[in-house]
Structure 1
Amino acid sequence: MMAFRAYIINFVFLCILVASTVSGYNQKDVKAWCSQTPNPKPCEYFLTHNSNNEPIKSESEFLKISMKLVLDRAILAKTHAFTLGPKCRDTREKAAWEDCIKLYDLTVSKINETMDPNVKCSKLDAQTWLSTALTNLDTCRAGFLELGVTDIVLPLMSNNVSNLLCNTLAINKVPFNYTPPEKDGFPSWVKPGDRKLLQSSTPKDNAVVAKDGSGNFKTIKEAIDAASGSGKTIITGSKSVGGGTTTFNSATVAAVGDGFIAQASKFTVGTFLAGGSWIPSSVPFTSGL
């Protein structure tokens, strides 16, 4: 009997010890700060289960803590997403899953960049990059829904990352009427070389049509017939959801990364250009940070 009581006492002591080691920020502080976010419940849960128990002293500190929180959850979600690959039953599920792997990777990368002290990041930059991370998760979800796959998407999206990202966007608070600084009519981040390229005069005409014979051709038809062809002047593609591709992956051209600039460029979907009907759920161009 004494041994049993000793066991109970030790067990209770162990429970108290474990509880003290997993306790996080002060609950009163947590409720006060999390009440300012659109999703207070996950905010409260993850902060109170955090290993840190120092008081949150300022809004900037709360933002930093919230971004670290969402980064940790995004990394866990990305790791979990990898484990779902073998559960894909066909090519459509595999296509949507592969998109999600890329998108979670981009999300983690963008949150990391936002938090990196060595990267120049204004409040507007942070709002843009965190919005990109949130859009990536929405695109992941959309890919499964478009292809009619709903059961495998639930484990991917039930990790609170989207809710926590919404919270960081709300905490960051960039005014809607904020105007970024400009130089010569361009955003300050545009490099001098790129600015010069965009400010360059209209490209020289390849052909001039003049009925009096002073140009290269007398009729428009002659000029069209002499053109190098759509394959050399317009980028085309024909992927679509109907063909088993997600909208995210259907883009004729996709640019991922910083610094992409396109001037006087045309992207379209091949069958539409050739005179066929428009392909549902297909996009000519996508751009991601």
Structure 2
Amino acid sequence: MATNLVSSFFLCVSFALFFSPALSNILNTGIDSWCKKTPYPETCKYTLTHDQKSLSIPNKVSDFKKLAIQVALKRALKAQSHNKWLGQKCRNKKEKAAWADCLSLYEDTIKLLNQTVDPAIKCTDYDSQTWLSTALTNLDTCRAGFVELGVSDFVLPLMSNNVSKLISNSLSLGNSSNVPPVTNLYTEGFPSWVSPGDRKLLQSTPAADVVVAQDGSGNYKTIKEALDVAAKRSGSKRFVIHVKRGVYKENLDIKLKNIFLLGDGLRYTIITGSRSVVGGSTTFNSATVGKS
């Protein structure tokens, strides 16, 4: 009995040793054929074979694209975790500013990649290509911040990774024939995702939730104060901020949803800021009014 068990064990091991290289070759050949369709085939093959614990060869390009995005997401999460501790290595304010931008940009990139593979989100080919393009632009913007401030020699090399290449690979797998023309995405002059209620809001003069006026005739004197109030509101309806005529010297980074800024006219309500690369800000962080 013991002899039979030992014989069976060795037989199984022999079969495993015999077939493993063959199966590995089949798998590698399949992955090779898919990765050759991408702009960075070596990066594609390396990450797929090292990052995926169980890997089967996809039959359709859509399945391979999903797999490629999942690998890009995994690498982006790893890069974000690595980048967080680099803040303590920044030698000056300019490096710190560029590094802080990168953290924000990586966070947004991870969100976009998640949206693209989340089965709960109805992601069209048009959505997928748009989100991947934005994710890739985010990482280019991260690098640009260090370059334009002249501090690309120290922290930036420490942030080096292959996430951009992986996103480029995923983007190249998009099926352009399934992406609808831009003309089909508009209804009555508005993007199709703008609801009838929002169209009516844009075509009317809605009642304001708060009023901003420099002369003290409103609820607040700065737009920032009104946005702080909006951040504490409950519910999800549009929050309308009427900004009366005047020159508001503010830099606004709006991270809220459903905010409606309503001025008194192009020549009357003016928001202006002075951030620039010369002053130590990256282009990404120099916007007078930014929405993220």
TM-score of the alignment, normalized to the shorter chain, above 0.5: yes
Q: What's the secondary structure of 2:176's corresponding residue? A: coil
Contact 2:126 2:180 in 1 (8 A): no
Which residue in 2 is equivalent to 1:149? 151
Tell me which amino acid in the other structure corresponds to 2:113. Answer: I
Work out which of the residue numbers 163, 178, 183 in structure 1 matches 2:181: 178
Q: Deviations over 1:66-86 (max 9, x none)?
A: 010000000001011102111
The reply to whether residue 115 of structure 1 matches residue 132 of structure 2 is: no
Contact 1:24 1:52 in 2 (8 A): no
> Alpha carbons of 1:238 and 1:25: their partners in 2 closer, same or farther (altered >3 Å)?
farther
Which residue in 2 is equivalent to 1:124? 126
Contact 1:38 1:170 in 2 (8 A): yes
Q: Deviations over 1:205-228 (max 9, x none)?
A: xxxxxxxxxxxxxxxxxxxxxx95
Contact 1:111 1:129 in 2 (8 A): yes
Q: What's the secondary structure of 1:247's corresponding residue? A: coil
Give aligned-pair identity as a percent.
50
| Offset of residue 122 of structure 1 | 0.9
Please list, as runs of the form range in 1=range in 2, the aligned pairs for 1:147-226 lying within 5 A after superposition.
147-150=149-152, 151-156=154-159, 158-175=160-177, 178-179=181-182, 180-200=184-204
Which residue in 2 is equivalent to 1:259? none
The 2-side partners of 1:24 and 1:121 are apart by: 34
| Offset of residue 194 of structure 1 | 1.8
The reply to whether residue 230 of structure 1 matches residue 266 of structure 2 is: no
Q: What's the secondary structure of 1:249's corresponding residue? A: coil
Tell me which amino acid in the other structure corresponds to 1:152. Answer: V
Contact 2:245 2:270 in 1 (8 A): no
> Alpha carbons of 1:24 and 1:168: their partners in 2 closer, same or farther (altered >3 Å)?
farther
Q: Structure 1: which 5+ residue stretches go unaligned?
A: 1-15, 202-226, 257-289
Which residue in 2 is equivalent to 1:240? 276
> What do you get for the CA RMSD once the two structures are aligned?
2.4
TM (normalized to structure 1)?
0.67
The 2-side partners of 1:126 and 1:240 are apart by: 33
Greater strand content: 2
Contact 1:134 1:162 in 2 (8 A): yes
Range with bigger deviation, 173-182 or 114-123: 173-182
| Offset of residue 185 of structure 1 | 3.1
Which residue in 2 is equivalent to 1:30? 31
Tell me which amino acid in the other structure corresponds to 2:275. Answer: K
Q: Deviations over 1:255-279 (max 9, x none)?
A: 11xxxxxxxxxxxxxxxxxxxxxxx
Q: Structure 2: which 5+ residue stretches go unaligned?
A: 1-16, 206-243, 249-267
Contact 1:25 1:48 in 2 (8 A): no
Tell me which amino acid in the other structure corresponds to 2:196. Answer: P
The 2-side partners of 1:146 and 1:182 are apart by: 37
Range with bigger deviation, 52-61 or 23-32: 23-32
